[in-house]
A and B are shown apart, each in its own frame.
Chain A
Amino acid sequence: MAVRTVIPFGPQHPVLPEPIHLKLELEDETVVGVTPIIGYIHRGIEKAAEINTFRQNVHITDRICGICSFIHTQTYCQGVEALMNVEVPPRARFLRVFWSELSRTHSHLLWLGLLADALGFESLFMQIWRAREMVLDISEMTAGHRIIQATCIVGGVRRDIDKEMAKEVDKRLLALKEMLDSTIAPALLHDATIKRRAVGKGMLSKEQAELLGAVGPTARGSGVAIDVRQTGYAAFKEVGFEPVVETAGDSYARTIVRAREVYQCVELMRKSLAMMPEGEILVRVDGYPEGEAVSRCEQPRGEVFYYLKGNGTNHLERLKIRTPTFANIPTYLVMLPGCEMADVPIITLSIDPCIACTER
């Protein structure tokens, strides 16, 4: 007879960059039930956003997530701009596309590295993070900081990218692409070790992904073509965008979605820099936000949702943030039961959990 045991997985675990606790019910080595528990890293950012002024909040939302900070700020600024009927200059919209894709490239490369690390594939991990370093250099060059770009503010962006810098960025992006082509992509796409650990593990069918409300690469790995960038916010309409979709629905498909998205990001960045019109990057914003607004953007992990309520003063009455990992955690209930205990780390990692974002 099978022995039933409960094993706590996390909140501290070598593969988890952030604390999430999974209560795993096991029968021998097979997982039969899972209860995800969060609540270890709450920082009270929503409350802090009510206390600070709406302009200071830009820098608070910057720090919700270290990996996709620009997209948080962008979502917040889009919300405030909607409340105050501000039209963002075209050049600023293209620059926002550039930095948001830079964030995404950084995030995906970081995650692909973490996956390789979780598999025990140290040389691939180091190679991917070497490529990530090139992205961080571009970030430092264009925004003045390696991680927190902090270039988006209400009414536009704070920094411009001139022609000379755009040329240099383009050169570096091509170098990044070449590095991906020569070392990283072949390993991710053809290596037998990765395939053996990830193919067929953590299955999530298209119906289940839709039912559980999965977003981002988790949903796209299951064949659901859901991506907020399709709505054409910022300048995605002009730049042109097609979501990357894989249909297998396993951990490997989610990895491939991210790997293909890195290439797509590089193309989107190059396109946005090439198509960027001349002109202003920032408009003056007077007055205070009043009314209610909803703002959505596509983060590396999926759709991020902001609800803003202003009352005509310098402070917001409410700022509600729903991050993509919150929508993706329920998929564990489908992905984990039936798998072996040894596969739990890879499957857990495959949704790219960002718990600090989720708890804010």
Chain B
Amino acid sequence: MQMFPTIVKNLFSRPATRRYPFKDIREPFPGYRGKIYFDTNKCDLCGDCARVCPAEAIEVDLENRQIKYYPFRCIYCGTCVETCLQGAITQDEHYSPPNTEKIEELYKIEA
């Protein structure tokens, strides 16, 4: 019985849910731990990010001068961003998009 006024009120109020991902999407708050990006101009292939990553989501290939990043292994903790001395890793404020297959991202570092 105690719930009755709430139920009646809810009948006439707007829905609390959003029609994600089609309409009324709420933007994440500032500082949300979202997708990871590497700046190929700043990176010096030191490999600190790969060493600290708890999920082994970053691989540094010194021979081919490239960085492999696995977004589906990544736990978005942001440790690599804090560790990078060059400031080459940035994390944006958006949810990482879903995908039908596990992908890897390649970043070529120019000499």
Please give the residue numbers on chain A whose beta carbons come within 8 Å of chain B beta carbons, in ascending order: 52, 55-60, 62-63, 121, 123-124, 127, 130, 133, 137, 140-141, 144-145, 148, 150, 158-159, 182-183, 186-187, 190-192
8 sampled A-B residue pairs with Cβ under 8 A: A52-B54, A59-B79, A63-B75, A123-B7, A141-B31, A144-B33, A183-B3, A191-B1
Q: Which of B1-31 contact A (CB under 8 A)?
A: 1-3, 6-7, 10, 16, 28-29, 31
Q: Is B37 an interface residue (CB 8 A)?
A: no
In whole angstroms, how far apart are the Cα atoms of A161 and B57 in the complex? 29
Which single member of A124, A144, A182 contacts B78 (CB below 8 Å)?
A144
B3 lies within 8 A of A187 (CB): yes
For B78, what are the chain A residues with a Cβ–Cβ distance below 8 Å? Answer: 144, 150, 158
Taking A59-B77, A145-B76, A187-B2 as known contacts, 18 extra A-B pairs with beta carbons closer than 8 A to each other, sorted by chain A number, are A55-B52, A56-B53, A57-B54, A60-B54, A62-B77, A124-B3, A127-B3, A127-B6, A137-B29, A140-B32, A141-B31, A150-B77, A150-B78, A158-B78, A158-B82, A182-B6, A186-B2, A191-B1
In whole angstroms, how far apart are the Cα atoms of A187 and B33 in the complex? 37
Cβ proximity bits B59-80 to A, threshold 8 Å, 1 near / 0 not: 0000000000000000111110
Number of B residues, CB within 8 Å of A: 22
**Do A59 and B2 form a contact, CB below 8 Å, given A140-B28, A145-B32, A159-B31?**
no
In whole angstroms, how far apart are the Cα atoms of A38 and B31 in the complex? 39
In whole angstroms, how far apart are the Cα atoms of A133 and B31 in the complex? 18
For B29, what are the chain A residues with a Cβ–Cβ distance below 8 Å? Answer: 137, 140-141, 144
Question: What's the nearest-Cβ distance from chain B to residue A203, in Å?
Answer: 25
Question: What's the nearest-Cβ distance from chain B to residue A255, in Å?
Answer: 15
B31 lies within 8 A of A144 (CB): yes
Chain B, Cβ-Cβ closest to A159: B31
Closest 4 A/B residue pairs (Cβ): A59-B54, A56-B54, A144-B33, A186-B2
Q: Is the interface of B mostly helix, strand, loop or mixed?
A: loop
For A59, what are the chain B residues with a Cβ–Cβ distance below 8 Å? Answer: 54-55, 75, 77, 79
For B76, what are the chain A residues with a Cβ–Cβ distance below 8 Å? Answer: 145
In whole angstroms, how far apart are the Cα atoms of A58 and B82 in the complex? 15
For B31, what are the chain A residues with a Cβ–Cβ distance below 8 Å? Answer: 141, 144, 159
In whole angstroms, how far apart are the Cα atoms of A332 and B26 in the complex? 43
In whole angstroms, how far apart are the Cα atoms of A62 and B75 in the complex? 11
In whole angstroms, how far apart are the Cα atoms of A121 and B1 in the complex? 11
Question: What's the nearest-Cβ distance from chain A to residue B84, in Å?
Answer: 15
In whole angstroms, how far apart are the Cα atoms of A56 and B51 in the complex? 10
Question: What's the nearest-Cβ distance from chain B to residue A249, in Å?
Answer: 24
Chain B, Cβ-Cβ closest to A127: B6
In whole angstroms, how far apart are the Cα atoms of A280 and B52 in the complex? 23
Question: What's the nearest-Cβ distance from chain B to residue A148, in Å?
Answer: 8
Chain A, Cβ-Cβ closest to B51: A53
B77 lies within 8 A of A190 (CB): no
In whole angstroms, how far apart are the Cα atoms of A62 and B54 in the complex? 11
Which single member of A52, A63, A141, A191 contacts B2 (CB below 8 Å)?
A191
**Do A191 and B3 form a contact, CB below 8 Å, given A55-B52, A130-B16, A158-B82?**
yes
Question: What's the nearest-Cβ distance from chain A to residue B26, in Å?
Answer: 9
For B75, what are the chain A residues with a Cβ–Cβ distance below 8 Å? Answer: 59, 63, 148
In whole angstroms, how far apart are the Cα atoms of A127 and B2 in the complex? 12
In whole angstroms, how far apart are the Cα atoms of A205 and B82 in the complex? 51
**Do A192 and B28 form a contact, CB below 8 Å, given A144-B33, A150-B77?**
no
